[in-house]
Structure 1
Amino acid sequence: MKGFATKEILLDEHGKIVAVHAQATNYQQNLVTAHILEWELFKRYKKNAEITDDILSELKLRSAYHGGQPPLQAVLKPCDAFPLISVQALVIYKDYKDPNSVMWKAIIAQRGENVAIKPELWQIQPAGGFEVYGHEDDDLDIQLRQGFDVRAALFREYAEELYNVEELSFRSDGRDSGSILAEPHISQLITLISDNKASVDFLGIITDLTILRHELSFLIVIDDPDYCRYPIIGSSEAKRMFSLNMTELKTIFSNQNVHSSSAGLLQLAIESDRLKSLGISSSLETADDGMP
């Protein structure tokens, strides 16, 4: 499907995000200008594990992405590259299933063995590309403009990866792209937000420095007794789905192989005003996980 690649990220004088400018792209362009950078780096590492000051001169594809710019500027404004923007969210909900043990839980997955990217790593989901709900050959301007909707992209991943809503993976008919918001799980979340029983906060952008892709990162917090009655199924990309209390979540991130973007997302969430006000940040920072 068509998606959106980073054109430029604008920051204010304090380093806060002002705007993200994007351009339409397809997954093939992303592969040959962004994902391939990890392969190039790995190939160089296998040949010589020593990191030298002039390593960029040995990485032709990464050097092209930089376009002669300093590293930070290259991350903010890629040169002749199409790094597909991603969306990801940490979902934390209050679990009321056991009335004698009501507690906050976070949703996390272990990726499958046969997925193309990062097999078997632990990952916070939902997470996926900022893509238009359509087909690879869709190029109508109005469709791309309507598809440039971060909220819809995030909610689509939410339904796909937590509840295995396969019809949102791609549009198999001519339905209106706005129908995404009518999907039952998404509609439920929107209602909870409207009723002040859920919130969605933008936390910032995580950048994986191996592939230089940018991930718009969010926090979804849900406090509603009915929410936990629906089973979290996962998708074909996940080998296992878990709802973990904060002690268990910290243990996983301390002892297992975790997707780098998920590690960044968790840190942003811990630093957020939302989790601090709920007392969740402190439990993640001080939870007794039995480690020295």
Structure 2
Amino acid sequence: MINNILNYMYDLPIVGELIQGGFSINFIIGSIVFALVALTIINGALKRSFDVNLLKELLVTIRNKNTQKIKRYNKKRDKFYRISTTSNFVSWQNEILKKIYSDYNLLSLFNKEYPIIIFEPKLNCIYPFKEFFSRHSELKSVNIPYFKLDRKQKFYTRMMGSTIKWPDLIGFEIDKFSLDEDSKIESFTANVCQYKHNVVTSHILEYELYKCYINKRTAFSEKTSEEILHNLFYRKKIHRGKSQTEVVTTGCNRHSLLSVQMLVAYYDDELDNYRVLLFQRSKDVAIKPNYWQLIPAGGFEIFEKEETTNSYIIKQNFNIELVLFRELIEEALDGEDFQYNKHGNIKEIINNHKDVVQIKEWLKSGQATLEFVGNVVDLVSLRSELSFVLVIDNPEFGKKNFKINHEGKDLQTIFIDELPHMLTEELLYPSSAGLLQLAMKSQSFKNRGLLQKSY
């Protein structure tokens, strides 16, 4: 009977040639082609005789199953977000990280602890940055690393779903921070990675802690640092054969995307005070929704499309000044279109933006200062954030139409000396806490007497 069906289908115009061609390649391809053709013929017969569209019903069933999967992943992600932003989880996590990184003290700011380590620069670095960073930073490799996801990493990626916007976008991962004898930054080196590499080697570390909190938090708290690491598979891989200092000052055994963050303080002449820009993170972000964050802040990534892999273009994007101003436009100055480069030369697009032109004029005329204040290391994700302070004395900046992108849900401009009160019962993004601590030590703040009280 099967032979009769095959012979019948072989005799069909065009279709028969397709089936025979498939079998000539190999049996599996031939079988797939045969099954598709047979299903189409059966579907046509059913539709004519009984008005039943089998293919349509099959597609609807498949779509519904995919929708159900997405809903399950979203439910798991929402639970992760909800529990990981509770005070109980944050306190428990801090205690665990204190044991693992016992060589360092967690950051204390405004009577709260943050899983943060800060490193100040050895040399003062004031805008313009070109000469400083050309001598004190280096892009060592532009080769995209090969990376194969394991089962848990695949699950985590699916769970994070739409929060991962540009998985293949190229960015710059930390290779190493070189420190002097006082643990101050002398220079740093970087390599190339893709955002998805960062997701499954750095972001996943918080989810790993969350799973331990859900399943065995009480027993976990009694364990030694070695026992704790034994239960944290991905963090243990990073620590293997490395000291605590090597883990926090290098990108060993992972692909940790570098980030940049900038505290923007501007003068309000009506009330004779300085305000800062911050927003509350939305649920449309890959980590730490609902936290308050100083903006701008974001990954040190190329301002190009995901498909861009040209080494010359990548090297052109290894530019601190460009990424800082790009993030400022994107997150505070109505810059959704600045998520990637749709056309043109990156330097021209960013440097010719009207707000960037104005800020640079203020910097040159002494009406603003931009200072590199150091590096902030988040012990949860083991990511580094190059940190900067921009203080604008010209009150015209405050008259701009600030507008945030999809990453934030509530933009606020707070008087700088009211920050400790505003954040008393709120979650502050840990890296922002590190940035605030570095800002309070900066010349830009000291010269203006900003946040110089004892808190």
| Fold-level similarity (TM above 0.5) | yes
Residue 210 (str. 1) matches residue 380 (str. 2): yes
- Which residue pairs with 2:96 in the alignment? none
Which whole-Å deviations, capped at 9, do the CAs of 1:142-194 have from their partners, x for residues lacking one? 11111000111111001111112122111123x11112111111121111111
- Residue of 291, 297, 302 corresponding to 1:132: 302
- Which residue pairs with 1:178 in the alignment? 347
Which whole-Å deviations, capped at 9, do the CAs of 1:11-49 have from their partners, x for residues lacking one? 011111011110011101111111111111211222222
Which whole-Å deviations, capped at 9, do the CAs of 1:48-77 have from their partners, x for residues lacking one? 223322211211211112232112211112
User: How far is 1:219 from its partner?
Assistant: 0.5
- Which residue pairs with 2:211 in the alignment? 43
Q: Secondary structure at the match of 2:263?
A: strand
8 Å CA contact retained: 1:67, 1:79: no
- Higher relative CO (Cα under 8 Å, sequence separation at least 6) belongs to 1
Residue 235 (str. 1) matches residue 405 (str. 2): yes
Q: Distance in 1 between matches of 2:309 and 2:333?
A: 29
- Residue of 49, 53, 72 corresponding to 2:245: 72
Residue type of the alignment partner of 2:440: I
8 Å CA contact retained: 1:91, 1:106: yes
In 2 relative to 1, CA 144–114 (structure 1 residues): closer, same or farther, beyond 3 Å? Answer: closer
Residue type of the alignment partner of 2:247: A
- For 1:17-56, list aligned pairs within 5 A: 17-49=185-217, 50-51=220-221, 52-53=223-224, 54=226, 55-56=228-229
Q: Secondary structure at the match of 2:196?
A: helix
Q: Distance in 1 between matches of 2:191 and 2:423?
A: 34
User: How far is 1:116 from its partner?
Assistant: 2.8
User: How far is 1:233 from its partner?
Assistant: 1.5
8 Å CA contact retained: 1:86, 1:128: yes
Which has the larger Rg?
Answer: 2
Which whole-Å deviations, capped at 9, do the CAs of 1:202-229 have from their partners, x for residues lacking one? 1111111111000001100000132222
Question: RMSD across aligned C-alpha pairs, in angstroms?
Answer: 1.4
- For 1:77-88, list aligned pairs within 5 A: 77-88=250-261
- Farther-moved stretch of structure 1 (51-60 vs 160-169): 51-60
- For 1:141-290, list aligned pairs within 5 A: 141-173=311-343, 175-179=344-348, 180-283=350-453, 285=454
Q: Distance in 2 between matches of 1:21 and 1:183?
A: 29
- Which residue pairs with 1:9 in the alignment? 177
Residue type of the alignment partner of 1:2: I
TM-score by length of 1: 0.92
- Which residue pairs with 2:28 in the alignment? none
Q: Secondary structure at the match of 1:84?
A: coil
What is the number of residues matched between the two proteins?
281
- Which residue pairs with 2:138 in the alignment? none
In 2 relative to 1, CA 9–176 (structure 1 residues): closer, same or farther, beyond 3 Å? Answer: same
Structure 1 residue runs of 4 or more that deviate by more than 4 Å after TM superposition: none
Q: Distance in 1 between matches of 2:404 and 2:336?
A: 11
Q: Distance in 2 between matches of 1:237 and 1:229?
A: 23
8 Å CA contact retained: 2:209, 2:232: yes
8 Å CA contact retained: 1:65, 1:81: yes
Unaligned 5+ segments in structure 2 are 1-168
User: How far is 1:104 from its partner?
Assistant: 1.0
Give percent identity, aligned residues only. 33
Q: Secondary structure at the match of 2:279?
A: strand
Q: Distance in 2 between matches of 1:70 and 1:233?
A: 43
Q: Distance in 2 between matches of 1:148 and 1:115?
A: 24
Q: Distance in 2 between matches of 1:124 and 1:2?
A: 24
Which has the larger helix fraction? Answer: 2
